[in-house]
Amino acid sequence: MAHFQAVTLYSPISTSIGITRDYFPKPITRIVPTKFKTNKHAVWKHGLGMKFKSKHTVWKHGLQLKFDGWREPTNTLNCICKAQIDSGETELSKAETRNQRVLQVALWVMEGVYIFWLFLLPYAPGDPVWAIKPYTIKILLDLSLNFFFILPLANSAGFHLMEAPVLHPTVEALFNFVIAWTMMFAPLLFTDCKRNRFGGSLEALWVVQMFLTNTLLIPYMAIRLGASRSSSLSKSQKVKSGIQLVMTSGARIIGTLGGLVGFICIIWVLFGRDDAGFGSLADRWDFFLDYIKSDRPGYAFIWDICLYSIFQPWLIGNNLQNVEEDKIQAVRYLRFVPYVGLVAYLWGLANNED
């Protein structure tokens, strides 16, 4: 769509794009056009206080000029409005572009800090990836076996086809909380209105995110702030298939599962493995604090929770148009509640295509 700039006119003035209707002795100041939803043309109005009497609309050069006319019977047939095509951006759009560029740079810097501080440098708690100990690898494998508490709960119910590794309940809860939150990001990413700006595979990005959390999500958040590759989603991007179709059509199921796992995490911290001698709630809390101060994966999970708490309301706020109309208001406010807001978005996601 073309950009327009505001102009001040004095009647009578002859213009290439305009309407000759009434004579106004006072200057007419243009206001910024708004987007017209049904036909996507610019809508213009002139400002003459409350003295508007009649409305007129014309089409010329693919533009819609809409204004209110003030009848002056003794003075007619003089130009009263003009749309001037601006060769550049409006001041508002320029400011928005500058802000987005600053935010992009900040996100790329954050990506560098995230990778170097959490993966490569030896200064953060625990060991960097190049000096990881076998014990840390074993803990990660055991946590993976206890994915979503399936094995521990099955053992508690009397099913012992495979024994669940016994780990501290706060460690298990932290791991499953972050993984469940990551899982729920899939429908949000697959319905993101700016996903066409990402040139790669969103499915691959999300699969990597399940293992490396924010390692690729931060770059995605930066890339989606860049220039659009096209004015709208392509046909291939609109038609979901495979994992995207499963995740978006089953968003409520994903949200329910994520909400259930989050609830179990809370219960697990308080009462999980009560017969294994992990002590009182105070003892568990002390262990948890020591754990995140000495273990690199546990420390990184705290970073992930903080970053997800920022990205969740950001992404949901950009995609409220995907939510069912009667749930928009609730999702608008709940999006700021970590974890819970994403459950609300998935429950409110409208079951339609772009």
Domain ranges of the chain: 3-86, 91-348
Cα–Cα distance for residue pair 328/345, rounded to 1 Å:
9
Query: 183-227 pLDDT, tens per residue?
Result: 999 999 999 999 999 999 999 999 999 999 999 999 999 999 987
141 — pLDDT class (breaks 50, 70, 90): very high
According to the model, what pLDDT value does residue 247 have?
95
Cα–Cα distance for residue pair 147/175, rounded to 1 Å:
8
Contacts of 73 by beta carbon, 8 Å cutoff, 6+ apart = none
The CB density around residue 146, as the number of other CB atoms within 10 Å, is 19
Token pair, residue 130, equals 């190049």
With 0-12 / 13-18 / 19 or more C-beta atoms within 10 angstroms meaning exposed / middle / buried, residue 14 is exposed
Q: Residue 42 pLDDT > 50, yes or no?
A: no
Whole-model pTM: value is 0.74
Cα–Cα distance for residue pair 44/135, rounded to 1 Å:
68
Query: 225-242 pLDDT, tens per residue?
Result: 987 765 455 544 554 668
Nearest to 172 by CA among 159, 188, 157, 153: 153
| Torsion sign, CA atoms 211, 215, 219, 222 | positive
Cα–Cα distance for residue pair 30/287, rounded to 1 Å:
65
Is pLDDT larger for residue 238 or for residue 43?
238
Nearest to 288 by CA among 179, 134, 172, 164: 172
Q: At what angle do helices 296-318 and 134-145 cross, to 10 degrees?
A: 50
Cα–Cα distance for residue pair 66/86, rounded to 1 Å:
18
Half-sphere exposure of 141 toward its Cβ, with a 13 Å CA cutoff? 6
Cα–Cα distance for residue pair 190/229, rounded to 1 Å:
17
Query: 91-130 pLDDT, tens per residue?
Result: 667 788 889 999 999 999 999 999 999 999 999 999 999 9
Phi-psi region of 106 (alpha: psi -120 to 50; beta: other; left: phi over 0): alpha
Residue appearing with tokens 């130009």: 79
